[in-house]
Each structure stands twice: as structure tokens, then as C-alpha cells.
Structure 1
């Protein structure tokens, strides 16, 4: 096959940039800092992996840092934390105030284990006082990995850009098979209604996602319903998957030994 002719390469914008503009445009590409950045990220992962010591199944709760004690969503998250704890789950959050604090607080009130992955920010974020174990991170990327790594279910409470980022990344990991089809629940049906409508009317309509992808999400306002849904999915979906994988592994091992 003949190669398609290429247009002449245009000069880099750096050739016409000067002073602070040039420094800004080159600042993110300085190779002398790449190794240092990689080492910092690695050490932060290592700190996270070494810090958490628990064995019970864990549910991660995402949500805004901005809802105060007494707000309806704060109280909803607090009730959720209690129900999850009473059902025998550990509760993990981003470790900050608002929804995160409420879920951790409820977990302790329910006699459960309360975990947090806090992020260091120049404003707003600080570790809440309702944590049995927590780690502070400098990198959002490392923090998000830790929030997903240990959990078998995810609950998304109302929130802003950060909550949406966490929710859609987790949903993408499930959709693409990077993690199991763990249950994922949206709490606050009124809050999430427009986003679910957008997904149906735009994403599904334009075929950028499949209709079945929306079935990965359940919406409810009931903490008890969240717990019941998580238990049902774990019992009816994940166990057959694990058995199937275990059977394949045994078959592969038997084949290698022959």
C-alpha cells in the first residue's frame, strides 16, 4: 500500500515564544524532572499500600466536601455509613469533610471500620475526626487508585467536579473490565436525575456508550436499599464469576502438568 503524502511539518510554537511564555510552554516537558516525579509517585503508592491493615470487605463512598452537618445529603451519607457498618462492611472515603466526614461518622456510629484517603490541598480539605485509619496524599492519581483498590462496591453521593471525576473513572474501570463489575450506586435520585437523562439522551442516543452500560448504575435515596443491592450483586454476580475463573485456572494448571 502506497504511503499517503504528508504535509510539511509546521514549526513549533516555541520558535516564536519568548520569556515567561516559553518557560510556561516548556515547563511540563522538562525531562530532568521526570524521574524525580516517578519516584515521588512510587513512594506515595508504597506509603498507601503499607498504611492500611484491615481484612473486612470495603465500600467506598464518594461525595462533596462542602455539605455541612445537618444538610440532607450529609445526613443521608451518615445513615449510609451506619447501615454499611452494621452489615459488616468497612467504609472508605476521601477522608475530608462534608459527605466524606458523614459516611465515616456513620461507620463509627454503626460499630464499623472507618477509613480515609485524604488529599493535601492549600484550602478546604482536611482529614475529618472520624477515621480509624487514614493516609494523606499529594497526588490525586494515587489517591484515586487507593479509593478503588480495596473496595468491592462504590456509592456516589452528590458532589462537584472531583466527585464526577471519581465516579466516571470508576465506572470506566468497570465498563472496560479493568476491575470486576462491582455494584455502583448513585444516592440522591433528584440530584443525579439530569446526569442520567443526559447519558440516555446524548451518550446512548449517539452510541458513544451502549444501553447496557447504564445498567451498571443504580439510583436510590435509601441507605437500606444500597446495602441490599450491594449484597445481591456480590452474591449473584461476583461469586459465579469467581467460580468460573477458578475453574479456568484449575484447567490451565492441569494442562501444564500433563
Structure 2
């Protein structure tokens, strides 16, 4: 109460910039536009990077150690990728929720990039399904932060460390409609399967209308011109059915030689 007995007037809090650099939270004047990845990869500036790169190895190592330590006891998990720009009222968002819920109810942990959009949808579904909802965030010039449905969250400075965690602790990928980041994860997974760096790793593209053009291009251009083998198209599965997603994942878990 104020001195005259009136309720105090609550002023709206002004928005301020906020950013995470790994486990570090920066706000207001402390926010930087340059990311740790950029500092590592950018060699066009001063040559002092020649003297600091050896020390960066320790930070990179620490990210691997933290990631391995936090995720080592995960149950069987599936990573779900998709656009951060997917709107909550869109059919794609609802599909993400349904997939996350179905995965959790089937006993899987759900791993996403921890951001908004399709990632949030899958994490939300995992929570609704009573499963473990995991978010692996990344330092970006524009802060996304971990969505509110993440139960176990890690923030990484380096993309390559984060990517290692996705592959090491997932038993398959479900890929919702997304942009360049989603395509990056998709084609890295396909390359790892093609080169047998990972085996029996299902990659499922959800949304035939969205992915159809890409699949047609792979078939009519990539394969037709001999840049890939026809059987490389069998490295992924396209569907619009959540039940089929679970079926493909379960088939991949069966011992080799087991008949359906």
C-alpha cells in the first residue's frame, strides 16, 4: 500500500535484450552480437586467434563433458526437428504436439532444439504424454531460449558439439517442416546413415506435401545424374500418419533378421 492507502501503480516492465552463451545468461548492455561459433570460425580478423585456439579446446571439451554427463542416463530417445517459426495455431504445430505425445506414451524421451515453434510443440506433447522432454539449445545472434516445456535443458556454444549430442543420444529422427537448420540436421543424419557411421537409424519426414518437392528433386536430379544411388532414397521414410511414425521406429528397434 502507498502512504495514502491506495494500491501502488504497477509499471509495465520494459523489455530488454537477453542472451545465453552456454550456461551464461547475459542481459541489457552485456548482450553481444557475435557468437562463440563465429569467433572460432572467423579467421578474417586479428591474428590473436592463433594464440587463443588451444585454449578454446578446453571450452569445447567442457561442453562435451557437460553434455555426456547430463544425457548419459536418458531412456531410448527420438529427436524431433522443425521450424522455430511454426505458429502455435498451425496444423504443423498440432502435428508436433501429437508426435511428441505419441512418442512419450510409447516410452521414448523426446529431444528437440529446445526453441519455439515445432520444437516447442514436440516438447509440449512429450510433457502431455508423461515423458521426458529434452531441449538442446544453441547460442545464436538472436536469442531463442529454451521453451517452457523442456524438463532437461542444455545450452551449447558450438553447433558441432550440439549435433553430436543429437545423434549420440537419439535412436531416430522425426523431421517436421523446417528451414535451413532443419535441412542441415536432416542431411547430416542421412550422410551418417549412408556412410554407415550410424546404423539402423530411422529418419522420418513428416508432412508429404512439404517434403514432396525435395524428394522429387532427389530422385529426378540427384539420383538421375548419378550423384547418389537409387537405394539412398530408402534412407528416409515420408509419412503423414503419427501411427506410422511409431511403426517405423519400432521396426528399426527389432534385431536384424526379425520378421515383422
Q: Counterpart of 1:213?
A: 232
Shift of 1:122: 2.9
Q: Counterpart of 1:45?
A: 64
Worse-matched range after superposition: 36-45 or 156-165: 36-45
Query: Per the alignment, in what secondary structure is the counterpart of residue 102 of structure 1?
Result: helix
Q: Does the CA-based 8 Å contact 2:74-2:169 persist in structure 1?
A: no
Report the Cα distance in structure 1 between the residues aligned to 2:44 and 2:143, rounded to whole angstroms: 29
Structure 2: 5+ residue stretches without partners: 1-41
Q: Counterpart of 1:73?
A: 92
Aligned-residue Cα RMSD (Å) equals: 2.0
Cα distance per residue 1:179-219 (max 9 Å; x no partner):
11311100011111111011001110111111111101110
Report the Cα distance in structure 2 between the residues aligned to 1:198 and 1:55, rounded to whole angstroms: 37
Query: Per the alignment, in what secondary structure is the counterpart of residue 134 of structure 2?
Result: strand
Q: Does the CA-based 8 Å contact 1:96-1:118 persist in structure 2?
A: yes
The structure 2 residue matched to 1:131, chosen from 142, 150, 159, is 150
Cα distance per residue 1:22-76 (max 9 Å; x no partner):
x964658942122122222111111111122534210001111111212111110
Shift of 1:92: 0.4
Report the Cα distance in structure 1 between the residues aligned to 2:45 and 2:75, rounded to whole angstroms: 47
Report the Cα distance in structure 2 between the residues aligned to 1:27 and 1:240, rounded to whole angstroms: 54
The structure 1 residue matched to 2:183, chosen from 155, 164, 169, is 164
The structure with the largest alpha-carbon Rg is: 1
Aligned pairs for 1:138-153 (under 5 A) are 138-153=157-172
Q: How many residues align?
A: 217
Query: Per the alignment, in what secondary structure is the counterpart of residue 256 of structure 2?
Result: helix
Q: Does the CA-based 8 Å contact 2:177-2:211 persist in structure 1?
A: yes
Q: Counterpart of 1:240?
A: 256
Query: Per the alignment, in what secondary structure is the counterpart of residue 137 of structure 2?
Result: strand
Q: Counterpart of 1:34?
A: 53
TM-score (structure 1 length as normaliser): 0.79
Q: Counterpart of 2:81?
A: 62
Q: Does the CA-based 8 Å contact 1:82-1:109 persist in structure 2?
A: yes
Change (3 A) 1:231 1:35: same
Change (3 A) 1:27 1:209: farther
Q: Counterpart of 2:242?
A: 223
The structure 1 residue matched to 2:209, chosen from 190, 203, 206, is 190
Runs of 4+ in structure 1 over 2 Å off? 23-31, 52-55
Query: Per the alignment, in what secondary structure is the counterpart of residue 152 of structure 1?
Result: coil
Cα distance per residue 1:111-150 (max 9 Å; x no partner):
1111110112231521001111110011111111111111
